[in-house]
Chain A
Amino acid sequence: MALSTAAAIVSEHVTTDVVMVNLFPYRAVRYQADDVPTTVIDGRKGIVGSVPEAAYVGAIVAAAAGDVCRSERMR
C-alpha cells in the first residue's frame, strides 16, 4: 500500500488526502504537480514520484520539525 496512507494508519499525527487528479485537476495545478504521485506536505510540494520508505518518512519527519526544504533535497 502507499506510504502516505500507511503513515496515517500508524500515526495519529498524520492525516492523508488522496486526490484523483482527473476529478480535481486544479489541485495539481496549484502545486505544479506535473508527475504523479506528488505528495504535498502541509501545503508545500514535498515528494515527487515514488521514493524509498526511509526517504518518504524522513521528509515527513523533517516537515514536522520545520525543515520542509529538506524533503526537496531528499528527492
Chain B
Amino acid sequence: MIDIERTLGDLAGPVTLRYYTSDVESWYSAAERSLLERIAGVSPKIRLEIHAGRWDPEREAAVGIARTPAIVVAGERDTGIRYYGLPDGYELEIFLGVLRAVSGHAPALSAESVACLRALPRPVHLEVIVSPT
C-alpha cells in the first residue's frame, strides 16, 4: 500500500494538477477525481483544478491535450507531462514520484543524461503506453 501522505509530505515547491474530464460523470472519472482530491488534500503545495466539460478543440489544443480524461502536471513551469487515465497500482507510485520531482526534488538522472536532454536540437514527444497494474 502506497503511503500518499508520507510520499508527498515534503514537497519542495508548488505543484498544479489540471484535470480535464467529461461533464458526464462515470465510475472511472469519479475514481480518478477522488484520487486526485485525495492527493491534493495531503499538501497545501498541491493545487487541483478540475475542468469538467464537453470536448473543446480550441481549448484542448491550447492546453496541449489530445483526449480526456487528462491530467496536466505543472510545477514552476508546465512540464509537458500529460497523464491519460487513472494512475493506479504501480503507476500511482510513479505518479507520486513525478509530483515530487516536479515540485523541485531532482529526478535521479545522471548529470550526463540531463546534459544530453537539455541539449536536444529540437523538441521530442514521448508517448508511453503503460498498464496500471
Give residues in A with beta carbon < 8 Å to B: 1-24, 27-28, 31, 33, 36-43, 53-54, 57, 60-61, 63-65
Among A28, A36, A54: residue with most chain B CB under 10 A:
A36
> What are 21 A-B residue pairs whose CB atoms fall within 8 Å in the complex?
A2-B128, A5-B79, A8-B79, A10-B118, A11-B118, A13-B122, A18-B84, A19-B84, A20-B131, A21-B131, A22-B131, A23-B84, A23-B85, A24-B84, A27-B129, A33-B129, A37-B130, A38-B129, A39-B126, A41-B126, A60-B117
Q: How many A-B residue pairs have CB under 8 A?
A: 175
Beyond the given pairs A27-B127, A27-B129, A53-B110, 9 more chain A to chain B contacts, judged by CB atoms under 8 angstroms and listed by A's residue number, are A16-B81, A16-B128, A17-B126, A20-B83, A20-B85, A20-B130, A60-B117, A64-B120, A64-B121
Residues from chain B with Cβ under 8 Å of A39 in the complex: 126-129
| Chain B, Cβ-Cβ closest to A20 | B85
Interface residues of B in 75-124 (CB under 8 A from A): 77, 79-87, 91, 94, 97-98, 100-102, 106-110, 113-114, 116-118, 120-124
